[in-house]
Amino acid sequence: MSERTPYEQNYYPPVPSNFVKKARTNFFWQLWRFLIINLKVLRMVRKH
């Protein structure tokens, strides 16, 4: 077994950047992503 020491880097979660934080709360970005995902789903449904 490998030794694990507390407070190593892999014990902490990644912190989102400022751009990611703003994108997650921006209504227009969310609307754009929603439309893109829906178009991908519709395309997949039409093929099968």
Instruction: Annotate 3-25 with DSSP letters as a single string.
Output: ---TT-GGGSPPPPPHHHHHHHH
How much is the pLDDT for 8? 76
Considering the domain boundaries, does residue 27 fall inside one?
yes
Considering the domain boundaries, does residue 28 fall inside one?
yes
**In the structure, what pLDDT confidence band is assigned to residue 14 with cuts at 50, 70 and 90?**
confident
Nearest by Cα to 29 from 21, 11, 15: 21
Total number of domains constituting the chain: 1
Mean pLDDT of 14-19: 91
How much is the pLDDT for 2? 63
What is the residue range of 33's domain? 23-48
Mean pLDDT of 17-35: 95
